[in-house]
Chain A
Amino acid sequence: MSKVTLAKALNAGLRKAMDNDPKVLVMGEDVGKLGGVFRITDGLQKDFGEDRVIDSPLAESGIIGTAVGLAMRGYRPVCEIQFDGFVYPAYDQIVSQVAKLHFRTHGKVKMPMVIRIPYGGGIGAVEHHSESPEAQFAHTPGLKVVTCSNPVDGYFMIQQAIASDDPVIFLEPKRQYHADKAELDESATPLPLHASRVAKAGSEVTLIGYGPTVKTCLQAAEAAAGEGRSVEVIDLRTLSPLDLGPTFDSVRRTGRAVVVHEAHTNLGMGAEISARITEQCFYSLEAPVLRVGGFDTPYPPARIEEEYLPDLDRVLDAVDRSLAF
């Protein structure tokens, strides 16, 4: 066992998947020699060759569109989109082709494709490098959308996504890439890909986060504990399909729920989760489901991104408001 960062865990997971199945390909901009701008594919081209780790021309629609053809020929492409804000040139191929081919052909064409997207803010970047587009993909039938919050999940989830016969949008919280190390036991039995989990048990309020906000939620829970408040934290892990069983169980006990994400609040994942909690836990609720998210503005310049992003204080503020209801 060793301690690894999320970046290293993803790299190890990709390597394992490529070792296990010669049909797995990695493709994207700068993924080869450079190992990707975040080094997630570091060393893979050296070990698996240029045919399996493909530096693509700089055209996102081209990356995803050719991956469709490769999948039709029996390959399992893992595409890297360099940054969240650059997925839009590929949006048409993703929503109109990748997502629909299985449906259109009644399953005769499968799309075992993974689209990896480093997402989220907090790294002091320029425009288009800090966005959270998850709802746009979760809203699209035919896609599956998952996001890891820690190295252990990163290692297992990337392999599970690659093994899936459905197209998976794999969102990686880029702020966490090199942040925290965790013990990785490669022989452990992972949770299923499309399962959420209780990241911390508590009894008075349920905090629901995913990807980069899980850490914020855990910090909030710790701070709240210091004030004698018991907060439960759910790490959603899967955004499409949603796995809200653990969330419902939790809210039925706590009666209070706060959803936390970096994406714009309006029509974000929080809206859907809130609606479902209301449908399923109506008689248990002591307060309306609250949302803490990015504001409904474009992602701001880096010098004020900490104000824009849901941080510890804004989460705690929402916890207080929920408890005060």
Chain B
Amino acid sequence: MSLVDPARAGESFIQLLTPEGERVTHPDYAFDVGTADEAEVIRGFYRDMVLTRRIDVEATALQRHGELGIWTQLLGQEAAQIGCGRALRPHDYVFPTYREHGVAYCRGLDPLHILSLFRGVDQGAWDPNAHNFANYTIVIGAQTLHATGYAMGVQRDGAVGTGDPDRDTSVVAFFGDGASSQGDVNESFIFAASYNAPVVFFCQNNQWAISEPIERQSRIPLYQRANGFGFPGVRVDGNDVLAVHAVTQAALQYTREGNGPMLVEAYTYRMGAHTTTDDPTRYRMSEEVEYWKLRDPIARVKAYLVRQGLADQAWFDEVEREADEIGARLRDGCRALPDPNPLSIFDQVYAEQTTELADQRDGFAAYLESFEGAR
């Protein structure tokens, strides 16, 4: 398998910053920060990506030290997640998979909530409405339907196509290349198309679904699937944070205006293992990883900032220092996460508790208490 096999790379994608850090233009999409200071925004993206990578590296290390049961690394997907995450407005709503730590970071979710999940302290019990960031979903593709239903609710609330930027809302459904084969993803395409719901289907095509390459899921580039469902699809260089931001911003706007759903395929690469329990050397060539290392999403922004003289060493050092701080906070915070009380499980099943379950709880509590003296 050649690394630049046209069937694999598909057609070209939308790119605004080359792997070498050169700005390029595209006829349909431009990096637009409105009235903000562009250099400031790009420095912000760089910082976001570095901090996100640090959260990921730190969590991976915590897993190695036995502090987490498992970790889903996002290494290599920082631009896809930050570019998208930073294009969102506060009232937009996100339905993630289990790997969107960068988007979670953009939404202001404390990473300790995510560590909680992978430590086995809880199952990702954050309040989704606190950050308009739904709870992680592990069943592949299931959340795309939730996103679509949520968007149908947005329509019923009259929060789409009004022209009021503080009201019009879009919903982003994250999923992977592997998930694109799931019935739920295809059903969500149909529901969203049928009802013209404001959903951005954001596929991070990281080329792999555990050990299965994208060729096993699709014989056409994924973004072209949208055609068959009757809505637009685009492919963006998922390792180019400027392009991802530009394309996502356009897609969000398109959906908010009431034009129906849109598919964004962020063409990226899973640089790490599927999870900390995976061994990718069993199914992929190291040359492939080397090829993608040259397309690192963070390196190209750094090259750009340096070459344009938009950031000096002191600034980069400051970002590193911030990353160190986050790392230390996660290490301490993770170890300090308290184990849940076993009796709490009985109280969380229903909104309206049942007598049956309350009795079961009491029985188990009495049983546990019977050991108190013995300990």
Interface contact A69-B135, CB-CB below 8 Å? no
A73 within 8 A of B: yes
Interface contact B145-A66, CB-CB below 8 Å? yes
When distances are taken between beta carbons in the complex, the residues of chain A under 8 Å from B187 are 57, 59, 61-62, 65
Contact with A along B113-146 (1 / 0, CB 8 A): 0000000001111111100001101010010111
When distances are taken between beta carbons in the complex, the residues of chain B under 8 Å from A97 are 137, 139, 142, 146
Find residues 18-63 in chain A having any chain B CB closer than 8 Å to their own CB: 25, 51, 56-57, 59, 61-62
B349 within 8 A of A: yes
A222 within 8 A of B: no
User: Which residue of chain B is the closest to A65 with respect to CB atoms?
Assistant: B145
When distances are taken between beta carbons in the complex, the residues of chain B under 8 Å from A144 are 350, 354
Interface contact A69-B151, CB-CB below 8 Å? yes
Smallest Cβ distance from B158 to chain A, in angstroms?
10
User: Which residue of chain A is the closest to B190 with respect to CB atoms?
Assistant: A57
Give CA–CA (A103, B123) in the complex, Å. 9
Interface contact A74-B153, CB-CB below 8 Å? yes
- The interface stretch among A105-113, A150-158, A248-256, A257-265 is A105-113
B282 within 8 A of A: no
- A75 touches which one: B123, B153, B351 (CB < 8 A)? B153
A102 within 8 A of B: yes
A194 within 8 A of B: yes
- Residue of A67, A92, A105 most packed against chain B (CB within 10 A): A105
Size bracket, chain B contacts: 35 or more
Q: Report if A61-B183 is in contact (Cβ < 8 Å); known contacts: A102-B348, A166-B351.
A: yes
Interface contact A102-B350, CB-CB below 8 Å? yes
A241 within 8 A of B: yes
Q: Report if A59-B350 is in contact (Cβ < 8 Å); known contacts: A65-B184, A104-B135.
A: no
- B146 touches which one: A51, A57, A69, A107 (CB < 8 A)? A69
- Residue of A56, A73, A144, A241 most packed against chain B (CB within 10 A): A73
Smallest Cβ distance from B361 to chain A, in angstroms?
13
Interface contact B157-A108, CB-CB below 8 Å? no
User: Which residue of chain A is the closest to B145 with respect to CB atoms?
Assistant: A65
When distances are taken between beta carbons in the complex, the residues of chain B under 8 Å from A71 are 149
A147 within 8 A of B: no
A142 within 8 A of B: yes
Give CA–CA (A103, B135) in the complex, Å. 12
Give CA–CA (A110, B349) in the complex, Å. 10
When distances are taken between beta carbons in the complex, the residues of chain B under 8 Å from A64 are 145
A242 within 8 A of B: yes
Interface contact B191-A51, CB-CB below 8 Å? no
Interface contact A109-B154, CB-CB below 8 Å? no
Smallest Cβ distance from B228 to chain A, in angstroms?
15
Number of A residues with CB within 8 Å of any CB on chain B? 45
Give CA–CA (A57, B193) in the complex, Å. 10
Smallest Cβ distance from A157 to chain B, in angstroms?
15
Smallest Cβ distance from A245 to chain B, in angstroms?
9
B156 within 8 A of A: yes
A72 within 8 A of B: yes
User: Which residue of chain B is the closest to A58 with respect to CB atoms?
Assistant: B190
B356 within 8 A of A: yes
Interface contact A62-B188, CB-CB below 8 Å? yes
Interface contact A166-B150, CB-CB below 8 Å? no
A302 within 8 A of B: no
Smallest Cβ distance from A240 to chain B, in angstroms?
8
User: Which residue of chain B is the closest to A108 with respect to CB atoms?
Assistant: B127
Smallest Cβ distance from A34 to chain B, in angstroms?
17
B330 within 8 A of A: no
When distances are taken between beta carbons in the complex, the residues of chain A under 8 Å from B124 are 104-105
Interface contact A73-B122, CB-CB below 8 Å? no
Give CA–CA (A74, B150) in the complex, Å. 9
Interface contact A106-B351, CB-CB below 8 Å? no
Interface contact A107-B348, CB-CB below 8 Å? yes
Smallest Cβ distance from A214 to chain B, in angstroms?
22
Smallest Cβ distance from A254 to chain B, in angstroms?
23
User: Which residue of chain A is the closest to B149 with respect to CB atoms?
Assistant: A69
A141 within 8 A of B: yes
B28 within 8 A of A: no
When distances are taken between beta carbons in the complex, the residues of chain A under 8 Å from B334 are none
A322 within 8 A of B: no
Interface contact B135-A67, CB-CB below 8 Å? no
| 21 A/B residue pairs, CB under 8 Å, sorted by A | A59-B187, A65-B187, A67-B149, A69-B145, A69-B151, A69-B152, A70-B149, A71-B149, A72-B128, A72-B146, A73-B154, A92-B139, A93-B142, A102-B348, A104-B123, A105-B125, A106-B122, A108-B125, A141-B349, A142-B350, A164-B352
List 6 extra interface pairs beyond A51-B156, A241-B355, CB under 8 A. Answer: A66-B191, A89-B183, A92-B142, A96-B139, A105-B128, A108-B129
Q: Which residues of B contact A (CB under 8 A)?
A: 95, 122-129, 134-135, 137, 139, 142, 144-157, 183-184, 187-188, 190-191, 194, 345, 348-352, 354-357
